[in-house]
Amino acid sequence: MSGILDGKRILITGVLMESSIAFHAAKVAQEQGAEVILTAFPRPTLTERIARKLPKPAKVIELDVTNTEHLDRLAGLVRDELGSLDGVVHSIGFAPQDALGGNFLNTPFESVSTAMHVSAFSLKSLAMACKPLMSEGGSIVGLTFDAQFAWPQYDWMGPAKAALEATSRYLARDLGPDGIRCNLISAGPLGSMAAKSIPGFDGLADVWNTRAPLAWDMKDPEPAGRGIVALLSDFFPRTTGEIIHVDSGVHMMGA
């Protein structure tokens, strides 16, 4: 049987661990027929090791999304490997420790600026770096954590995710004429490396134990990975600027 990504060429960022949503997006994408290339920072060798667990080999390119030289060379490196791109996955987020864990009122601007640059502005940077490879249009998919609410311990990553969500909408507006869609998956909490960096994360995750209509498994990133692959496919040809929740329904629950 053919897969929903047959013949697609996809760039995926953020494969840090086997528990990463990005790893499962890459795995499902390959299973659905895509050719996949990965980017990594700050330890490409770690991603290369994790990539060996994918169904097929995947090239790993070093990419710091805050580094102009890295962004400028990305299109050439990807073109040498795949020729062009049909899809891009943005799975990048970072905030310094003093921007998390209940320190919202005391976080200095320097730390907020870092969180915004890496977690939100980088979506625009990555999109523009890859745009020359998407002359036939395509799909950009990012990852958020529902920024409608003020979550326990999440602090400045909340405004950073809100900025990411707004950035996605503006990219959808400005890249739409080129046939490029831009959407986000809003996943529930998972035991990823990013989650483990948040002090008091277990308290945040407890919300899902009491409010999720569908059972939520923090150890299973594959549903979010499948959501990404669905948005990369041609099954959403006129969907852009959207946020799809893969969170077992918590986003729509009241008190």
Question: For residue 228, is pLDDT > 90?
Answer: yes
What is the structure's pLDDT at 205? 74
Residues acting as catalytic residues: 154, 161
pLDDT in tens, 31-41: 999 999 999 99
Question: Percent of the chain, pLDDT > 70?
Answer: 95
**For residue 69, what are the CA distances in angstroms to 40, 72, 75, 128?**
15, 5, 11, 13
Confidence of residue 209 (pLDDT cuts 50, 70, 90): confident
Confidence of residue 194 (pLDDT cuts 50, 70, 90): low
User: What are 117's two structure tokens?
Assistant: 């640059």
Question: For residue 255, is pLDDT > 90?
Answer: no
Give the DSSP H or E segment for 37: strand 35-40
What is the structure's pLDDT at 251? 94
pLDDT in tens, 20-69: 999 999 999 999 999 999 999 988 999 999 999 999 999 999 999 999 99
Length of the chain: 255
What is the structure's pLDDT at 197? 65
What is the structure's pLDDT at 210? 87
User: What are 48's two structure tokens?
Assistant: 């290369």
Looking at per-residue pLDDT, the higher value among 130 and 198 belongs to 130
User: Which of 89, 141, 69, 147 is CA-nearest to residue 115?
Assistant: 147
Looking at per-residue pLDDT, the higher value among 204 and 110 belongs to 110
Question: For residue 1, is pLDDT > 80?
Answer: no
Asked whether the beta carbons of 102 and 94 are under 8 A apart, the reply is no
CB under 8 Å to 241, separation ≥6 — which residues?
168, 169, 172, 173, 182, 183
Question: For residue 193, is pLDDT > 60?
Answer: no
What is the structure's pLDDT at 152? 85
